[in-house]
Structure formats: structure tokens, C-alpha cells
Chains A and B, each alone.
Chain A
Amino acid sequence: MVSTSENTTVGKPASEPMLPRLYRIQRVHLETDDTFTLHLLPAQDEMGSSFAPGQFNMLYVFGTGEVPLSISSNPSDSPLLQHTTRAVGTVTKAMRRLGRGAMVGIRGPFGSSWPLEQAVGRNVLVVAGGIGLAPLRPAIYQLIAQRERFQRVVLLYGTRSPEDILYRQELEHWRGKFDLEIQVTVDRAASTWRGNVGVVTTLIGRSPIDPLNTVALVCGPEIMMRFSVIELEKRGLAAQHIYLSMERNMKCGIGFCGHCQFGPLFVCKDGPVFRFDRIEAVLGKPEV
């Protein structure tokens, strides 16, 4: 298996960022009713650039279109790529109909990444909502791979219902094996669910965290992130220690099309991962 070598550039895309490279689908895994994960390998026997957790690719389905999707695989499994998405729009629905062996186009990796270096020696609190767990998964893999560099590592994961839990096997694996605290909650459940019920922000309130020595990585629907940040700040975390992953309409991924602007920031190149104090003022403004 190809491991990262000096030739593999981490996080830097191919020289022609506007041209898709071909990747073949190895596997389509159904996570839930409407969410699936594509497992991809480069079509050519190229090194393939690795990526940093938090980055995204633009995925192209022949003749249909392109969508930005966070990379959700383990960076050290590169050149393997995994992308988890819901089938909700034209392109993702077309993607859902592709099977093993089909080809997709990939442009990327683009964007900023989860700043794990900032968290070295500190506690790491990962707060994920719904499909927001997908862009955080690569960070979790890296936290586990370098576990000794961090203090407590806590994952708080909220989703709609037990049927919507992503990466179920992995969560169990992580829970059992590693020095990683995991709390899962759902918004609603039948009584057969024996875990937490309630929004993920309530888990923040209950989690014993040292506010002065913790870095928080937050990803999920925008409202969930905003309220999570409120809870984190109530617990005493400074804005400089909270990171969010934002999402906006993208047509290019490289700062040319103008669609992803968020105040003065381009989500594709200044983000998608942002330190909270940088976006605090714009985040609260409606329709910006």
C-alpha cells in the first residue's frame, strides 16, 4: 500500500485545479436511509495527493455536475478517499445511483483544516451534529493515531434519531478500544433506544471540561454550531479555542466564482474550517 512519502504533497491540489482527476468507486456504503459513503481510489496509479482533516473535494458526476464534499477518510489511508453525503440534490442523487467500478471526477483537496497542532498538550472536545461528523472523522483518526500528544479526547455526537447514526461500527470500535470518551444523543427515539435523548448542546453542559486547556472542534448545521458555541462559551472556552466548519454554495472551490463568500471570507479558501473569533461577527448576521 502506498504510504505518504516526500513526493506526496499534503493538502496541495494538482497543478490544474480546474480539471477533475479520475477516481474509481471501490465501494458504496449505505450509512442510513438517505446517506451514503463512497470509497474511492485514483484511476491512474498516481501517488495522489493526501489531504488534511477538514479539507474538501469537488466531486464530479459525468454530465450532471459537481458538489463540494468534505473528505471523511483517514488521511493515512491516502490515496484512498471517502466521501459521505446525503442524496438530496441532482448531483448527489445521481451519485447515489453510481455503483462499484464507476468513475467520478475529483478536484481538490481544497480549503483549511482542523488545527490539531493547536490542540497538542490540551484536551480536545469534538462536537458533531448530524452529517457534521463526516468532516470531523479524519481529525478523530489523527487524534487517535497520535493519542499521546493530547490530553482528554471527547466526542459529543448528536443526530436526529438512532437510525441516523453514522459510522456506527467505528463509534463502537472507538468507544471500546481507545482512550476516547464518546457521548451520543438523538433528538428523538423510540423507547428501545437506551442512550441520551436531547440536543447535543445539552451534552456540552454536562461534559466535565477544563475551559482553559481545551480546544473545541465543532461541525454540523449552522444553527447547531451557533448554539454549541454558546454552550462552550458558557463553560468558559475562549473564542480563540473554538473551531467551526462552515458551508456555502460553491461552484469552483478555488476563490474564483465568488459564490461562497461569507462576509469578507471565502469559505473555499479562507475556510471551511474557521477559528470562531474570526467569524463571530458575521455568523450572527442574518442573510449575510
Chain B
Amino acid sequence: MKRGPLHVHDKVIVESLHFEHLLHNLSAQGYELIAPTIRDNAIVYDRLSSSNELPSGWTDEQQGGKYRLKRRPDNALFGYAVGPDAWKKFLHPPIRLLWQAKRDSNSFQVLPEDHSCPKYAFIGVRSCELHAMAIQDRVFLSEPYVDPSYKSRRERVFIVAVNCGVAGGTCFCASMKTGPRVTSGFDLLLTEVLRDERHYLVTEIGTELGATVLAEVPNEPATEFDNHFVETILSNTTSHMGRDLDTEGIKDLLYRNYENPRWDATATRCLTCSNCTMVCPTCFCTTVEDVTDLAGQYAERWQKWDSCFTMDFSYIHGGNVRATTKSRYRQWLTHKLATWIDQFGTSGCVGCGRCITWCPVGIDLTEEVRAIRESELAATRSNPGGKDHDAQP
């Protein structure tokens, strides 16, 4: 049913059977589709050729150190929370060639890589993930240094966002004020509705580009009722968060508690496996690796994801500044929830819960913060006249 042109902020209904049409339009425009799909018993982000590959009818059960897929009673396309992959896999790739160099008698030549990359269309981006992208934008796109590869990938990406209809077992975006409602940063925003035998997507236009892509897809204007239903879905998701985190004064709380015994306790559990940093959508640390061919004539520099949990992340002068597990766990948590705020103006955490789910021993950062707060309250309870700790970084 064609009507006049669509505009930014318009809301329309797209029947689920026409979703394939949208994907097809994106492909036709040269976009490589990246969407959720099931691989090795998890919902990951990978190249998609058709909507059949979406995890239709699946959901996930997540807890500390636990992730299972389960069948849903319906055919929802997006009826699950987030999996181990984050979109940073495509914007800030795990392995990237920075440049090559060729030896040339007593000299050498540096051969820069161009920053070309595919035009990606991300399908099914959640609010927490949009916030995570914005957070990484501040890392890589701020003055005085801009990462040209990140910039070009980011600028070219088309985003089909999704309002979450399901809150994950470890989700706490509501606490971090990063969801579940998507508010900005999208080309198209979908809210999936399954009711009364119907299955459709309430679609909001975010950009002119989004309008263009949607134009050829059959759609009808969304009704009052539809919009109201979206609100109901969102409020339902909000009230079913698996976790919560009190962010009140959290920066100063962590700055005051560098010597809290809780760190020692958690260090006995932490394996420094670095899963949390791999799955976290905002963790950005990298290392570089310089390699040559056997003859030593040709060299490459590769950039790779790194983790502050590794033994020699902080190596200088024959030793590691953070040698103990305790210091490394403390570094990660304090960075994510406190020093990040001083560095980039926002928290580094978006409440996606991945670090909780994918920690092999189920360390839960919401529990860690709670324990530290509790320990302070306990201290003041047992010492009512006592002085507060100085709040200093």
C-alpha cells in the first residue's frame, strides 16, 4: 500500500512477512547485512543472507555464568536479549592490519592500509548497544586523535534498532539509563508486536536514509493503539530487568574503596580469563603485534583486542604494575564504572549484563558494587561517630 513519502519520526506498521523485503532493499543498496543468528548454541552477530537465518522463535536464559537458548511459543524475530557478540566486532575489529612495511637496502617503506570496509547494515541493535557505540565514539572520534578506520566504518553503518520486548536475566539497562527504549542513533527502529494472531513491527523512521530504504516496503501508518502498545511492551521490559545497579555517587564510592577487602575476596574467584572484556560492548583496549616474514624483508603491524586482565598488560621495566589478580579485577571494574566517567564524561557500562553471563565463575559487577556499598554502611553502623573516608580518586 503506497502512500506519500515517509519522513523522520513517522511511525508505520510493517507486517513480519514483509520484513524480508526491508532486508532485500538494504542488500540491493550495497549493504552487508549483519544480524543475530544462531551459531554454536548462542545468538551471535554474523552475515545474513535472508530473514530465515534470524533466530525466529528463540529466546535466551541468562544468569551469572550461564547462557542457554530456549524455544519460544511464538515466532518472534527478536524475542531474546543480547548474546556474547557486541557490534564492536565490526566497528572495532578484533584483528586489523594497520600497515605494512618493505625493507629497501638500509631503509624501509611504510605502506599504509586504506580504511575501506564493507558498508554494514546492523539489524537488531538494542538500546544498550547504541549507547555502547556512542561511548566508543567518544574514545575513537574525539580530538585530537581520530581512528580513521573506526570513523569510516561508523559513518557508513546503517542501523536497524530494536526496542527490547524481553529483558534478559542479567540485564540492567534501566539502572544505567541506557534502555530499554531506543531514543536516538538509528536509521530505523522496530518494536516487534505479536498479538491476536498478528505479527508486525512498529517501525519508526530515524533518518532520511531510513525513510528511503523503507519506502519500497509495504507499510501502513501506525495507530494510536499501536503506539500505546509499544509503550506497554517497553514498560513491561523495564519492570523485568534481571539485575539492578545503584549508580548514586558510584564514582566516588569506588574512588574511596581502592583498599576494600572485597577486592581480595573476588580475586579468589576471578580467573583473569578476560571473557568479560571480550564480550563487553565498550571495552576497547588493544595491543599491537609486529611481524616479519622469514627473510626479514617484509613487516606488518597488526592491531588486536587486548584485555587489562592479561598478565603483562601493564608491563614496564621488567615488571607489571598490576601483577595481582586483585589489582587487575579492581582496575577493570573501577575503570568501567568510575574512572571512565572522568575520562569520557559517561559511565563505561551500559547494563547489558554480558560480563555477568559470560563470566565462567559468575562474578556479577552489580553484586560487587552492592557489596562495597554495604561494607561502607556496615562500617558506619559499627562506628557511628567515625569519620568518613576521604573521597579522592
Q: Which residues of A are in contact with B by a Cβ distance under 8 Å?
A: 12, 16-20, 22, 24, 43, 60, 62-66, 88, 101-103, 105, 247-249, 251-252, 254-259, 261, 263-264, 266, 269, 281-282, 285-288
Instruction: Check if A264 sits within 8 Å of B343, measured CB to CB.
Output: yes
Residue-wise interface mask of B (130-158) relative to A, using a CB-CB cutoff of 8 A (1 in contact, 0 not): 00000000011000110110000000000
Q: Known pairs A18-B148, A62-B296. 9 more at Cβ < 8 A?
A: A62-B299, A66-B290, A88-B317, A248-B314, A248-B321, A252-B286, A264-B343, A266-B343, A287-B323
Output the least CB separation between A219 and chain B (Å).
14
Question: Nearest chain B CB to A227's CB is how many angstroms away?
Answer: 17
Query: Which listed residue, A16, A63, A266, touches B292 by the CB 8 Å rule?
Result: A63
What separation, in Å, do the CA atoms of A17 and B299 have in the docked complex?
19
The answer for the CA separation of A17 and B312 in the assembled complex, in Å, is 25
Is B287's CB under 8 angstroms from A257's CB?
yes
- Bound CA span A60–B335, Å: 30
Q: How far is the CA of A159 from the CA of B59 in the complex (A)?
A: 65
For B139, what are the chain A residues with a Cβ–Cβ distance below 8 Å?
A: 255-256
The distance from the CB of A99 to the nearest CB of chain B, in whole angstroms, is 9
Contact of A285 among B258, B288, B338 (CB under 8 A): B258
Docked Cα-Cα span, A118 to B388, in Å, equals 36
Given A249-B313, A259-B313: A63 touches B290 (CB 8 Å cut-off)? yes
Inter-chain contact B110/A22, CB cutoff 8 Å: yes
Q: Is the CB of A257 within 8 A of B103?
A: no
Return chain B residues, CB-CB under 8 Å to A251: 286-288, 306
Question: Which residue on chain B has the smallest CB distance to residue A257?
Answer: B286
Inter-subunit contact A258/B288 (CB<8 Å)? no
CB within 8 Å for A103 and B107 given contacts A62-B101, A263-B393:
yes
Within 8 A of A (CB), among B81-140: 98-99, 101, 103, 106-108, 110, 112, 139-140
Check if B140 sits within 8 Å of A256, measured CB to CB.
Answer: yes
Partner of A256 from B144, B284, B326, B327 at Cβ < 8 Å = B284
Contacts of B330 in A (CB 8 A): 287
Contacts of B393 in A (CB 8 A): 263-264, 281-282
**Is the pair B288, A66 in contact by a Cβ cutoff of 8 Å?**
yes
Report A-chain residues with C-beta under 8 Å of the C-beta of B103. Answer: 62
In the complex, A20→B107 CA distance in Å? 13
The 23 sampled A-B contact pairs (Cβ below 8 Å) are A16-B148, A19-B110, A22-B107, A62-B101, A63-B101, A103-B106, A103-B107, A247-B316, A248-B316, A249-B312, A249-B315, A255-B139, A256-B284, A257-B286, A257-B287, A257-B306, A261-B335, A264-B342, A281-B392, A282-B393, A287-B321, A288-B322, A288-B331
The reply on B219 being an interface residue by CB < 8 A is no
Interface of chain B residues 314 through 346 with chain A (CB within 8 A): 314-318, 321-324, 326-327, 330-331, 335, 338-339, 342-343
Residues of A within 8 A of B287 (CB): 251, 257, 259
B273-322 residues with Cβ-Cβ distance < 8 A to A are 284-288, 290-292, 296, 299, 306, 308, 312-318, 321-322
Bound Cα distance from A66 to B290, whole angstroms: 8
| Cα-based distance from A205 to B285 in the complex (angstroms) | 43
CA distance A62 to B99 in the complex (A): 12
List the A side residues contacting B99 at CB < 8 Å.
18-19
Nearest 6 interchain pairs by C-beta: A258-B285, A287-B327, A63-B292, A264-B339, A264-B342, A63-B299
Tell me the complex Cα distance, A62–B295, Å. Answer: 12
In the complex, what residue of chain B is closest to A253 when comparing beta carbons?
B145
Bound together, the chains give a CA A221 to CA B335 distance in angstroms of 25
A261 to B338, CA, bound (A): 13
State A24–B104 Cα separation when bound (angstroms): 13
By beta carbon, the residue of chain A nearest B327 is A287
Q: Which residue of B lies closest to A281 (CB)?
A: B392
Which chain B residues border A247 with CB–CB below 8 Å?
Answer: 316
Complexed CA–CA distance, A258 and B145 (Å): 14
A87 to chain B, nearest CB (A): 13
Q: Would B288 and A20 count as touching, CB distance under 8 A?
A: no
In the assembled complex, the Cα of A85 lies from the Cα of B290 at a distance in Å of 21
Chain A residues contacting B317 (CB-CB under 8 Å) are 88
Chain A hits for B284, CB < 8 A: 256, 258
Cβ distance B281 to chain A, nearest Cβ, rounded Å? 15
| Most chain B Cβ neighbours within 10 Å, of A22, A102, A105, A287 | A287
In the complex, what's the smallest C-beta–C-beta distance from A59 to chain B, in angstroms?
Answer: 12
Output the least CB separation between A110 and chain B (Å). 9
> B107 contacts A259, CB within 8 Å?
no
Q: In the complex the two chains form, is A257's CB within 8 Å of B321's CB?
A: no
A282–B331 CA distance with the chains assembled, in angstroms:
12
Min CB distance B11 to A, Å, is 39
CA distance A285 to B339 in the complex (A): 15
Contact of B147 among A12, A256, A287 (CB under 8 A): A256
B314 touches A249 (CB 8 A): yes
A60 to B100, CA, bound (A): 13
Which A residue sits closest to B339, measured CB to CB?
A: A264
Distance, CA A136 to CA B119, complexed state (A): 48
Partner of B285 from A259, A269, A282 at Cβ < 8 Å: A259
Instruction: A247 to B299: give the CA distance in the assembly, Å.
Output: 28
| B322 partner residues in chain A, CB cutoff 8 A | 287-288
A20 lies within 8 A of B145 (CB):
no
Partner of B110, one of A12, A64, A105, A249: A105
In the assembled complex, the Cα of A22 lies from the Cα of B106 at a distance in Å of: 12
- Using Cβ atoms and an 8 Å threshold, which residues of chain B touch A287? 321-324, 326-327, 330
